[in-house]
Structure 1
Amino acid sequence: MNLKNIILTIVAIVAMVSSSKSQTSEFPFKVDKDGQGKKNIIFIPGFASSGEVWNESQKELGNDYTSYILTMPGFAGVPAQANPTFKGWRDLIIEFIKKENISNPIIIGHSLGGVMAMDIAATAPDIISKIIVVDAVPCLVALNNPAFKSNPNIDCSQMVEQFKNITDAQFLAMQKQGVGSMVSDSAKQNLVLDWTLKSDRSTFAKIYCDFSNIDVREDIKKITCPALILLNSGFSHIKPMIEQQYSSLKTADIQYADQSLHFIMFDSKDWYMQQLLNFIK
């Protein structure tokens, strides 16, 4: 093989690798693309999490689907945006779907990503085929304060300053305590903790504050596609409150794991995957 053919072969191999696992440069979030199936799935991780949280899910689905696994800007080592907002991220994902011509995607979201999946399906119902919400409710704050109303002029600057000024040791201690209540397996706890520690502190505070102000209880009535809601076992003790929050989502199928903390895909993997596969297929 002559030099010209060798160069052409290398170029072809690089192109193949790039098409199977890529990161877009046009959007601030990281995108890992896998599979070559005709059906499309967009995975959105939760707060301060990496798209790696979906690795086992994507592996189970395999090449029957084309998967777009996101990691949001400022989380888990992805470069941060100057002024991130929940609604801004929602609009960017909708723009991404349209610009990349991703036909009728299924959106799977965990926690913050689950609320994002609902908000996307409510904002752009014609472009989404199904959503799967993993351990999220339309308004988390309202579970403790049913009279909660979102503040359109919320100012998160004070919280950002507070998080920027705490020491690394204080932040580590806070996150260790929190992670222990979200996932059972110690190895997975370390994984989630690592993603959090790699997250941009300002983004962490800004999105935490912004997300605490999100309420899509009314918006979800605009969703027309099938919706599977998978919740951890703790939520089963407050079913009336959960059903009230989801009352506007007429397509909702709400299921509760038998034993699970927040990261259902880790704590109840077999149950979670069976629910996922039954709903998708």
Structure 2
Amino acid sequence: MFMPSLSVRPSFRRLLPLLLLAAGGLLAQPAVATEQAGTLSVQRHGNHGSAVILIPGLQGGPWVWQQTIDRLQKDHVVYAVTLAGFDGKPAPADGGNLFDRADESLLQLIKQDKIDKPVLVGHSLGGTLALRFAGEHPELISGVVAVDGLPIFPGMERASAEQRQAMAAQMQQQMGAATQPQFQAQSLAYMQKIGVIDPKLAAQYAPMNARSDIKASARYMAEDLVFDGRTGLKNANVPILEISPYNAPDFSTPPMVMSEVQKTAYYQSLLADAPNAKVVSVSPSRHFVMLDQPVKFQQALDSFLKSL
């Protein structure tokens, strides 16, 4: 193919940066460092400032935090992790408790990268993992932001350990038996009814959730239903911010009638054992607060980080 000489065509030289940008943003995108820490796949963004570790929820990946990463990397070193089996990453080949493996891998990441007291920011299941880590290793972190992630699955605090085990086993069997088309349909229905308010956002992000391994997703979900980390929070002597989403229409009909104030108080009760936990409600939003209300979410996160 004929390529005009740059010495003969100075106008082409001036256009070259624009052509490269149009071809894929090569000049606009900074390099992203990647590594592995135990079962975690890790992306590192930014090169100065205090550290923030972002942990997605069930079937999530760094895409959950894209706007957050764009904002934080200007003033922080951001580690966006992906749990094994999620977002196209291989599922763990051997057995063992996945929550334990994730906790050990977070510890490995902090040690191998010599991260000085990061803030853990977790969504949903990732928030639960962050709260658990705070109870076990409070001396290693500066604080936790849990985005609709709690020390026990909402509603399960009224069930016995045996009841939670039975429900988790049944759910894991049903969820793990789904075919790929069924899994994709379930992901879309979840995003439409629980994940986000905007149907366009649901259609955009549901396929990303569905990139995850079905059986690994079922295992993580089962462990989440069984887990009760409330008493462990007594050792979590770091600042904790719980972000509670609220969308009034979702709580207007029985049996889910609850005001925004009542839901905030309920979340606060589940965190009662934590010495320094605060709940902030963000509305109108559903489970993926950072997608429904990116500005309000970022304001809450920025305020927390500045308070440390």
Q: Residues 178-257 of structure 1: matches in 2 within 5 Å?
A: 178-181=190-193, 182-234=195-247, 236-257=261-282
* Other-structure match for 2:87: 76
Establish whether residue 171 from structure 1 lines up as the match of residue 183 from structure 2.
Answer: yes
| Secondary structure, aligned partner of 1:250 | coil
* Other-structure match for 1:112: 125
Picking from 250, 263, 273, the partner of 2:298 is 273
Separation in structure 1 between the aligned mates of residue 54 and residue 115 of structure 2, nearest angstrom = 13
- 8 A contact 1:221–1:248 mirrored in 2: yes
Percent of aligned positions that are identical: 25
CA-based RMSD: 2.3
Q: CA 1:107/1:26 → structure 2, altered by over 3 Å: closer, same or farther?
A: closer
Bigger radius of gyration, 1 or 2? 2
- Structure 2 gap ranges (5+): 1-29, 248-259
Separation in structure 1 between the aligned mates of residue 232 and residue 204 of structure 2, nearest angstrom = 34
Picking from 132, 136, 141, the partner of 2:145 is 132
* Other-structure match for 2:35: 24
* Other-structure match for 1:9: none
Separation in structure 2 between the aligned mates of residue 94 and residue 164 of structure 1, nearest angstrom = 29
TM-score, normalising length: structure 2: 0.78
Displacement of 1:146 in angstroms is 3.5
- 8 A contact 1:29–1:78 mirrored in 2: no
Establish whether residue 260 from structure 1 lines up as the match of residue 260 from structure 2.
Answer: no
Separation in structure 2 between the aligned mates of residue 154 and residue 81 of structure 1, nearest angstrom = 22
* Other-structure match for 2:112: 99
- 8 A contact 1:77–1:199 mirrored in 2: yes
- 8 A contact 2:52–2:121 mirrored in 1: yes
Picking from 73, 81, 85, the partner of 1:62 is 73
- 8 A contact 2:156–2:225 mirrored in 1: no
Q: For structure 1, which segment, 151-160 or 21-30, has the greater mean C-alpha deviation from structure 2 after superposition?
A: 151-160
Q: For structure 1, which segment, 230-239 or 55-64, has the greater mean C-alpha deviation from structure 2 after superposition?
A: 230-239
- 8 A contact 1:20–1:33 mirrored in 2: no
Q: For structure 1, which segment, 40-49 or 236-245, has the greater mean C-alpha deviation from structure 2 after superposition?
A: 236-245
* Other-structure match for 1:50: 61
* Other-structure match for 1:6: none
Displacement of 1:211 in angstroms is 1.0
- What is the aligned residue count? 261
Structure 1 residues 39-87: Cα deviation after superposition (integer angstroms, max 9, x where no partner): 1110000110111111101111233111100111111101111236112
Establish whether residue 35 from structure 1 lines up as the match of residue 51 from structure 2.
Answer: no
Separation in structure 2 between the aligned mates of residue 25 and residue 247 of structure 1, nearest angstrom = 35
- 8 A contact 2:49–2:77 mirrored in 1: yes
Displacement of 1:154 in angstroms is 4.8
Separation in structure 2 between the aligned mates of residue 229 and residue 150 of structure 1, nearest angstrom = 24
| Secondary structure, aligned partner of 2:238 | coil
| Secondary structure, aligned partner of 2:304 | helix
Separation in structure 2 between the aligned mates of residue 225 and residue 122 of structure 1, nearest angstrom = 9
